[in-house]
Amino acid sequence: MATGKPRSGLERAFEQTGLKQLFDFSRCGDEGFPKPHPDMLLKLMAFAGLNKERVLMIGDTTHDLELAANAGVRSVAVSYGAHPESELRRHEPVKCFQSVDALHTWLTQKRLICKSAALLDGGKAVRFDLPHGHGSAPCFTMRFDGKVFAYVNRCPHRGTELDWNPGEVFDETGLYLICATHGAMFDPQTGLCISGRVKVAGCKRSDRGA
Ligand code: FES
């Protein structure tokens, strides 16, 4: 939540609506530079450990959309709030929605993970969360040999995430996926473990990092 309200106003709104538990982090107008300065969003991204590729700013004012642009992140406009659709569209949001239902449907069914061109062959992966049960599973998508693949980000040895830095899942040759914890290696085209502690620990050849 990035809001121009002072902290006291946001806490009051949270109390009245009972929505506080839906927000992991919040930043208010009296805690830094006001919108459209990118400070609020950059602080929230730092709190959450997210880079700009993983952030989507949803806003109902032109200030919100300018804030997103100034922070280098994508934005979605909603026209059921403060500013009319015609003004919001001038800031070129990814989408503009007229209702909460339409926004919700799009977010849950047509999530944009990243642009295809952002995935370089054997390069950095893009992380995303896949809804699973009552929570979500960490996943990543990457390109190998011209094709895009996506896997659950979990090493079958100990269940840890593969990347040693966010999105760094390839070994130095760019030919294999590698687990940062103990170095098990996986075929990027199948997710099959091909060497390392996964086998030593008793996992079969058919174990996948996905
Ligand atoms: S946790 Fe991946 S090889 Fe041990």
Contacts of 2 (CB under 8 A, 6+ apart): 26, 27, 35, 40, 41, 44, 57, 64, 67
**CB within 6 Å of ligand 1 — which residues?**
155, 157-158, 160, 179, 181-182, 184, 196-198
- Domain boundary, last residue among 51, 83, 109: 109
- Domain boundary, last residue among 87, 109, 131: 109
- Residues 82, 135, single domain; the answer is no
Task: Tell me, in angstroms, the distance from the centre of ligand 1 to residue 17's CA.
Answer: 44
Measured in Å, how far apart are the chain's first and last C-alpha atoms? 32
In one letter, which amino acid is 89? Answer: R
Among all chains, which residue has been given the structure tokens 């403060």?
82
Task: Tell me, in angstroms, the distance from the centre of ligand 1 to residue 129's CA.
Answer: 21
pLDDT value, residue 106: 84
- Residues 12, 91, single domain; the answer is yes
Note whether residue 1 is domain-resident.
Answer: no
pLDDT value, residue 210: 42
Residue 109's alpha-carbon distances to 11, 56, 102, 171, 172, in angstroms, are: 31, 15, 11, 33, 35
- Domain boundary, last residue among 58, 86, 109: 109
Omega before 36 cis (within 30°)? yes
- Rg from Cα positions in the chain: 20
Note whether residue 72 is domain-resident.
Answer: yes
Task: Tell me, in angstroms, the distance from the centre of ligand 1 to residue 180's CA.
Answer: 7
Residue numbers of the domain that contains 192: 116-200
Work out how many domains the chain is built from and give that number. 2
CATH at 131? 2.102.10.10
- Residues 38, 87, single domain; the answer is yes
Task: Tell me, in angstroms, the distance from the centre of ligand 1 to residue 208's CA.
Answer: 12
Angle formed by the axes of helices 62-71 and 39-48, to 10°? 60
- Residues 20, 83, single domain; the answer is yes
Q: What distance in Å separates the CA atoms of residue 180 and residue 168, rounded to the nearest whole number? A: 9
Note whether residue 83 is domain-resident.
Answer: yes
- Residues 159, 133, single domain; the answer is yes
pTM of the predicted protein model: 0.54
- Residues 96, 133, single domain; the answer is no
Strand partners, 74: 56
Low-confidence ranges of the chain (pLDDT < 50): 200-210
pLDDT value, residue 202: 37
| Tens digits of residue pLDDT in 76-130 | 999 999 899 999 999 999 999 999 999 988 887 666 788 788 899 999 999 988 8
Note whether residue 187 is domain-resident.
Answer: yes
- Residues 22, 64, single domain; the answer is yes
Cβ pair 5, 28 in contact under 8 A: yes
Q: What distance in Å separates the CA atoms of residue 105 and residue 58, rounded to the nearest whole number? A: 14
pLDDT value, residue 134: 59
The residue whose CA is least distant from atom 4 of ligand 1 is 182
